[in-house]
């Protein structure tokens, strides 16, 4: 039964948790009668509402619930903020509650994505370490439908493809044996930032308000506070919800195309391995005739999957189309050079090899 607009906010968050987690817990229960689920907790409204909902649902789901709190040390008082979040987690009955402090590179030492990306990388690395230490297979993060809408809008601005427009994945592998699961992206429950804030108020929790979430120096904050309100004003209420719904639809299509592309890879490609390393592909060959009979969407996906799977490189659309032209517009042209790889046509095959 879909949630009703008049359903209490805390119950909508619980519905999202129940809907999403039941199958994960069932799978984990085969290995552990009461599997441990960890909530990645910042103390903000989203993660606090999620923690409260998982705590309330845990007995019905047959799991134990703990929390992992990461102190990035990037702002004054971060230690006190992390310790307060830990106290709130214990107050909800979560156990174990682990607080880890990490060092995040800033300035020239930061990653290409800046301090925000560096903090995210450090956070997920440490969360994975804690999960493995505690033999936990499922870590929950509190991304909401509003986060999804922002992600889709950013992808559209970059001119990205279906996979990027599919937005934040509801789940993904964090490390071997550990999955990140995002219950609040659940389409049926429709949990937004407003819902998590109201949920905290309903259950008597006082969330922390991160000043970074209103700092206009961050692109995502400008999208949230400037761009989306203008679009909602111009196009009508529900625009953000429509963006999140577009992500759900795009993900279904992207998953289907990826599955077909992977089946084609298994059927068609021939892989030659390096003489020095039996795990490292030196050349991948795929029959031109088979590629020419595919739709452009599938052919381009197969080319990108070869680059990703065998050579660990990401192709731009420009490079993908250039390589595809060796199949679709063959005029005897020479090799195509792309990041990390070279593609050429040879004896009826599209051949891709490492640079």
What are 229's two structure tokens? Answer: 């309100």
> Taking 80 as the threshold, does the pLDDT of residue 274 lie above it?
no
Q: Is 261 within the bounds of a domain?
A: no
Q: Is 1 within the bounds of a domain?
A: no
On whether both 283 and 162 belong to a single domain, the answer is no
Q: List strands edge to edge, sheet with 341-346.
A: 270-273, 281-287, 349-354, 341-346, 336-338
On whether both 90 and 208 belong to a single domain, the answer is yes
Tens digits of residue pLDDT in 16-37: 999 998 877 766 655 567 899 9
On whether both 222 and 307 belong to a single domain, the answer is no
Pairwise CA distance, residues 321 & 34, whole Å: 50
Find out whether 312 and 340 touch, Cβ atoms under 8 Å.
yes
Question: What's the mean pLDDT in 277-300?
Answer: 89
Domain region containing 279: 269-354
CATH of the domain at 317: 3.30.465
Q: Is 93 within the bounds of a domain?
A: yes
As for how many domains the chain has, the answer is 2
On whether both 150 and 296 belong to a single domain, the answer is no
What are 230's two structure tokens? Answer: 């203008």
Question: What's the mean pLDDT in 130-147?
Answer: 96
> Taking 60 as the threshold, does the pLDDT of residue 270 lie above it?
yes
What are 41's two structure tokens? Answer: 């907790």
Q: Is 256 within the bounds of a domain?
A: no
**pLDDT number for residue 159:** 86
Pairwise CA distance, residues 84 & 167, whole Å: 31
On whether both 171 and 101 belong to a single domain, the answer is yes
Q: Is 156 within the bounds of a domain?
A: yes
**pLDDT number for residue 117:** 79
Q: What is the average pLDDT value for the chain, to the nearest integer?
A: 91
CATH of the domain at 221: 3.40.50.620
Tens digits of residue pLDDT in 98-126: 999 887 766 554 555 677 778 888 899 99
On whether both 207 and 335 belong to a single domain, the answer is no
What percentage of residues in the chain have a pLDDT greater than 90? 77
What percentage of residues in the chain have a pLDDT greater than 70? 91
On whether both 96 and 187 belong to a single domain, the answer is yes
Backbone angles phi, psi at 180, to 5 degrees: -90, 130
Which residue from 176, 354, 204, 193 is spatially nearest to 273, judged by alpha carbons? 354
On whether both 127 and 235 belong to a single domain, the answer is yes
**pLDDT number for residue 1:** 41
On whether both 232 and 274 belong to a single domain, the answer is no
On whether both 305 and 166 belong to a single domain, the answer is no
């Amino acid at each position: 039964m879909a949630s009703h607009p008049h359903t209490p906010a805390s119950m909508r968050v619980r519905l999202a948790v129940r809907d999403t987690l039941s199958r994960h817990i069932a799978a984990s229960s085969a290995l552990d009668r009461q599997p441990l689920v960890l909530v990645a907790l910042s103390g903000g409204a989203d993660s606090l509402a999620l923690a409260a909902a998982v705590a309330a649902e845990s007995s019905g789901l047959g799991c134990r619930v703990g929390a992992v709190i990461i102190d990035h040390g990037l702002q004054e008082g971060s230690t006190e903020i992390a310790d307060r979040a830990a106290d709130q987690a214990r107050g909800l009955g979560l156990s174990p509650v682990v607080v880890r402090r990490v060092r995040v590179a800033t300035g020239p030492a930061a990653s290409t994505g800046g301090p925000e990306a560096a903090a995210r990388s450090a956070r997920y690395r440490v969360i994975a370490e804690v999960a493995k230490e505690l033999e936990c297979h499922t870590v929950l993060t509190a991304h909401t439908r509003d986060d999804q809408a922002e992600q889709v809008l950013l992808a559209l601005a970059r001119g990205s493809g279906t996979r990027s427009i599919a937005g934040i994945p509801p789940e993904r592998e964090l490390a071997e044996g550990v999955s990140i699961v995002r219950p609040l992206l659940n389409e049926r429950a429709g949990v937004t930032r407003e819902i998590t804030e109201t949920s905290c108020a309903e259950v008597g929790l006082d969330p922390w308000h991160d000043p970074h979430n209103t700092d206009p120096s961050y692109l995502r904050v400008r999208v949230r506070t400037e761009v989306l309100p203008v679009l909602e004003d111009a196009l009508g209420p529900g625009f953000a919800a429509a963006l999140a719904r577009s992500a759900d639809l795009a993900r279904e299509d992207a998953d289907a195309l990826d599955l077909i592309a992977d089946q084609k890879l298994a059927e068609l490609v021939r892989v030659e391995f390096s003489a020095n390393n039996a795990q490292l592909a030196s050349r991948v060959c795929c029959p031109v005739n088979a590629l020419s009979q595919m739709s452009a969407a599938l052919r381009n996906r197969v080319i990108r999957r070869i680059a990703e799977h065998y050579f660990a490189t990401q192709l731009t659309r420009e490079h993908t189309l250039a390589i595809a032209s060796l199949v679709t517009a063959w005029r005897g042209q020479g090799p195509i050079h792309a990041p990390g790889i070279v593609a050429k046509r040879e004896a009826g095959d599209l051949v891709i090899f490492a640079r």
